[in-house]
Amino acid sequence: MDTYDAIMLLSYGGPDGPDDVLPFMRNATRGRGIPDERLLQVAAHYKRFGGVSPINACNQRLIADLSAELARRGHDIPVGWGNRNWHPFVAEGLDELAQAGARRILVLPTSAYASYSGCRQYREDLAEAAEALHDKWGTIELGVEDSADNPDADIILDKVRPYYSTPGMASAQIASVQRAWEALAARGVDTSGIRLIFVTHSIPVSMEAGSSPFPFHPSIDEAVAASGGRAEQQGSEASSPAGTPATEISYVAQHHALIQAIMPELRRVLGREDLGYDLVYCSRSGPPQARWLEPDINDFLEEIAADTAPPTGTVVVPIGFICDHMEVVYDLDTEAKETAARLGIPYERADTVATDPAFVSSLVDVLEERAAQARGENPSPVTVTGTGPFHTVCPSDCCLSPARPGHPSPAAVSAHPGAAPHSSGAPARAAGQSATTQEDSMSTPHPHAVVPPEQNPENPGHPAGVPDRVGEHAARHQARHAGTEATPHSHAAHARVTDPRDATDVDFDEVNNKQHYALYSVFALGESLPADDDERGRIVAESLDYVKGAGAEIRGFYDVSGFRAEADLMVWWLDDDPQVLQDVYHRLRASALGKFLDPVWSCMGLHTPAEFNKRHIPACFGGVAPRDWAMVYPFVRSYDWYLKAPEERSRIMAEHGRNGFAQYPDVKGSTLSAFGFSDYEWVLAFEADSLDRLEGVMHAQRYTEARLYVREDTPFFTGPRVSLGEWAERQPRA
């Protein structure tokens, strides 16, 4: 280790007490213009833990253990500490080491896996700190891949490679799982039915896609084959060259590679040759319309509890986290544990690995490996998977920020990425500009505009959420609107592709905490329109202008002719004021076009928070762009439905959703309450880009238990989305 003068543990940071929570949240969201009252809604979750994040104690323990192992190996080198969002900040940690004489510093992040938030962003943090300390210490450079020498730099900073695949990481995970398994067995749980569930931090799907530097993303099997089949040999010391498609695998693939490497040994020590595993996610902090890795641990527990053969118990393994911080002690020890208890599933959470001597030893191995690289040597990375990444400097095309797909984050290419966090917690950057929504030419301005990420406290600056922020499942289960319906979330895939037409940052709390109404109105053409083209065009233009004057958003006009004999035109309006919707209806009827239209059917609906998951918001209020086809129908549940236990309704609706939307994830739904508004309880609108997709989801959902609890679900009104002028051109002429 003589290549370096010091080591710095680089972490995310967390509050040390109640007075620190709000300043910490300000730092985590700096530059996004979020008012304190909104931050306090999130910060209040820390009260359960006295305002103290366990990440700090974990890091202090890890520093002590690293120092002891380094000393045992004969390395006399100090270990410092720096955080992104709380004391000691990165700049503070670097400054302290520089004052002690350190000029070549090796950085060890507390993230074991490679992705933007776990790898490249830490180099951006170092770049910010280097800029902040420039006047005091001169030029501070981030080192190159194979050397710590830079004659033009006053201080050099190097970083180790991702270390998820080290032998110590693998053996520590095995020991942790074995302890949790034995704890369940000691409680009398039948081990033949225990489900092994690995959990890691969810990240945006776009971040997952950018977490490998190569266009070709191999499967685990391909990576294993490329490494000589060693990934299934736990504890083997495979080595692979850096920078090949066979080894540079993505964030999700890294987790699967490690799990597959330890599964043979787990099957042996646990006595379960048939043992499989699941990889699920926690701590999703983005808006509901942004696509993140799924399923959430709580949703997954509910899904397996509804299986025909539910598990006898669960061992939950926080494989994505090296120590107990908020994702572990709240998201897993509190939320997920409570979910399992409610479902009657015995639950045991495995330990994190930071205190395991074998894991600490492997961290020092990685430090020594990087020191050898800096000396110009060519050490072979020791790995149990044969997979990387093995680089210590991110290539230009890997680990990209999801904020700008295809481009590195500004801090990655600029030495002036922005001011450092303020110790007071005051925002250090100007608020970003609000996003704008491009409207369809037929529509009035959008009153349900998307909340941009810079104004979303649930997405406070860390692309993977806040790695020290509490989970959201409990919030989704509070303040339920009794008896509400929502389309259950599908678990057809663990990651869904974002449609570029849709907004990716929607604050679902903002949607749920306001009143949003929709009005669906259907008309028949009472008499033929004028034959003269100019006259017909004038009628349409004047009528459309008059209708827009009400201020309601027009989601779309739909040609429903031919699907039903008595209907020709459907209009879908949105507004937060029901009287505005009444006004727009009156205006259409009073317009020049309205004189040709006879009312057939109309129904108003109100968005109410979904009973079982507050993230399930209507597509029409959640930033989802209109699709080419729409299907609208009312709905009335059976009398006994509302008398069933919530758990039973949840199970039935979960099956209903899996049977339909798992097969048709491209179909977008808007379910609104209509109690007391008309003869119906609910009004539903499904949207898709082709008619067959609407038919498919409706057909699939007929084969579910939920159909037994329906009193009425007609009439249906279906048609393509058209401009009003196009609709008029299709109609009979006098």
Residues contributing to the annotated binding site for Fe-coproporphyrin III: 12, 53, 122, 656
The tokens for 625 are 């762009």
Under 8 Å between Cβ of 250 and 212 = yes
Which DSSP category does 508 fall into?
H
The tokens for 250 are 């993505």
Under 8 Å between Cβ of 407 and 189 = no
**Beta strands 155-159 and 104-109: pairing type?**
parallel
Q: What are phi and psi of 92, to 5 degrees?
A: -65, -45
For the chain, the distance separating the N- and C-terminal CA atoms, rounded to the nearest angstrom, is 91
CB atoms under 10 Å from CB of 559, counted, come to: 19
Under 8 Å between Cβ of 285 and 242 = no
CB atoms under 10 Å from CB of 532, counted, come to: 12
CA pair distance 204, 436, nearest whole angstrom: 21
Residue with token string 């938030």: 117
CA pair distance 219, 230, nearest whole angstrom: 15
**Which residues, 6+ apart, have CB-to-CB distance to 43 below 8 Å?**
21, 22, 24, 25
The tokens for 606 are 């109100």
Burial of 459 (0-12, 13-18, 19+ CB in 10 A): buried
Under 8 Å between Cβ of 262 and 164 = no
The annotation places the binding site at 12, 53, 122, 201, 327, 656
CA pair distance 536, 542, nearest whole angstrom: 10
The annotation places the binding site for Fe(2+) at 201, 327
CA 90 to chain centroid, in Å, comes to 26
CA pair distance 137, 142, nearest whole angstrom: 14
Q: Which is nearest to 133 in space by CA: 86, 98, 84?
A: 98
The tokens for 408 are 């590195």
**Which residues, 6+ apart, have CB-to-CB distance to 593 below 8 Å?**
539, 540, 543, 724, 728
Under 8 Å between Cβ of 400 and 210 = yes
CB atoms under 10 Å from CB of 192, counted, come to: 10
Dihedral angle sign, alpha carbons of residues 656, 662, 667, 671: positive
CA pair distance 324, 361, nearest whole angstrom: 19
Longest dimension (CA), the chain: 98
Q: Using alpha carbons only, what angle is made at residue 676 by residues 671 and 678, rounded to the nearest 5 degrees?
A: 75
Radius of gyration of the chain (CA): 29
Under 8 Å between Cβ of 400 and 409 = yes
The tokens for 291 are 């696509």
* Alpha carbon distances (Å) from 238 to 113, 164, 231, 381: 18, 14, 8, 8
Residue with token string 């302290």: 96
CA 634 to chain centroid, in Å, comes to 32
Burial of 664 (0-12, 13-18, 19+ CB in 10 A): buried
How many helical (H) and strand (E) elements, i.e. helices and strands, does the chain have? 22, 18
DSSP strand E in 84-189: where? 104-109, 140-142, 155-159
CA pair distance 84, 252, nearest whole angstrom: 24
| Residue 4 bears catalytic tag | no
* Alpha carbon distances (Å) from 522 to 553, 564, 601, 684, 716: 17, 11, 5, 14, 11
The active-site residue, picked from 116, 633, 664, 680, is 633
Residue with token string 């074991």: 112
> Catalytic amino acids?
633
